[in-house]
Amino acid sequence: MPYVLTVDQRASRRGPDRVGEALAELTAGVRPVLPFERTAGDEFQGVLATPEAVVDVAVRLVRLGGWSIGIGAGPVQSPLPPSTRAATGPAFLSARRAVDAAKQRPMRLAVRGAVAPDAADAQAVLSALAVLVGRRSDQAWEAIDLVDGGRTQAEAAAELGISRQAVGQRLAAASWELERELRPTAARLLARAAG
């Protein structure tokens, strides 16, 4: 079951257009069913195949900062066209409702889906994950990027020129282990929300 993300830049009238930056970030390492593309003005949309991919993209966007993120979970009309802009179906409508709701939420993230209670649960877990990610320091991200990239804490420490204990402290302060627990929980709830 595909998932639709509709993403809108916050405060776009007061700053530069950042859609190109976000699209470049999402092109690396994300395999969409339909590619992320600008749909109108400072908004873009894409279709992902798995709830795990949705969680990953949501975390990436929270890290970039400045986005309202709407996630629609449910069916899409098939066959899918080659362009995201030409696609339709309930998940697209859910994503539109979700991004509108996200603009009113403190963490600027909302989920709407075929099964409303599960969509609400997914939204709660993803919002908690967004709080964790949004509070991280640049130093914490340096350690996380290295460890998530496959390095041991000792290797990350050597590369950063700090002690292994300092890497562990950065990961702990960033609640990295909690993120690793929340990600699969959010994915399971998104799968249920899709029906």
Q: pLDDT for 3-32, tens place per residue? A: 999 999 987 667 788 898 999 888 887 889
Helix intervals (H) in 35-89: 51-64
Query: Six-digit token pair at 61?
Result: 């966007």
Mean pLDDT across 94-102: 97
Q: pLDDT for 102-140, tens place per residue? A: 999 999 999 999 999 999 999 999 999 999 999 999 999
CB of 116 closer than 8 Å to CB of 28: no
CB of 30 closer than 8 Å to CB of 53: yes
pLDDT of residue 16: 80
Q: pLDDT for 35-94, tens place per residue? A: 999 988 889 999 999 999 999 999 999 999 999 999 999 999 989 898 888 899 999 999
Q: In whole angstroms, what is the distance from residue 174 CA to residue 93 CA?
A: 35
pTM: 0.91
Query: Six-digit token pair at 193?
Result: 């929300």
